[in-house]
Amino acid sequence: MIRLSRLSDYGIVLMTRLAREPERALPASVLARESAVSPAMTGKILKLLARAELLVSHRGAHGGYALARAPERITIAEIIEALDGPIALTSCLRPSAEGCGIEALCPARTNWQRINRAIRDALAEVTLAEMARPVLEFGPAPFVSEHASPAVRDPAALAGTS
């Protein structure tokens, strides 16, 4: 399954916690405790997020981490890219020069980019603010096309998480 790495998973949880009190800086220890993520992992993740400039850090006593921007301006896509690298499904055509050798019969190449964009856009349209917001405030999702493709008929696939 196209699964998200634990790194990104935890990262989003931590960022969501910070989004509840933007402006305020919290030390890693507190974030770890309140988010139920191990302190070691929390440290690792926060460092990566700081390096990616999604967080600002303050060292020394009473140091900590705070969001670098307003939660409305931080997207899930950015968090994932900061922790797991670029969002791209493709492994068919590597950046290497040689190509995959079957380009002639592989018009899929350019089409992959469309898929990648679609996914990336989907991720880029969800902000931290939305993730932090209590769920009931939402109306129907505006960016998700409601009409499932007719060929798609496995409702269990959507159930995924309990």
- Is the CB of 40 or the CB of 141 nearer to DNA? 40
What residues form DSSP beta bridges with 58? 64
Closest CA to 19 of 87, 68, 77: 68
107 interface partner picked from a second copy, DNA, none, CB below 5 to 8 A per type: a second copy
Candidates 51, 73, 94, 117; binder of DNA (CB under 7 A) is 51
Question: Is the dihedral angle over the CA atoms 129, 131, 132, 133 positive or is it negative?
Answer: positive
51 interface partner picked from DNA, a second copy, none, CB below 5 to 8 A per type: DNA
42 binds a second copy (CB under 8 A): no
| Residues 19-38 contacting DNA, CB under 7 A | 27-29, 38
Candidates 20, 24, 58, 73; binder of DNA (CB under 7 A) is 58
* 11: Cβ contacts below 8 Å, ≥ 6 apart: 45, 48, 49, 79, 80, 82, 83
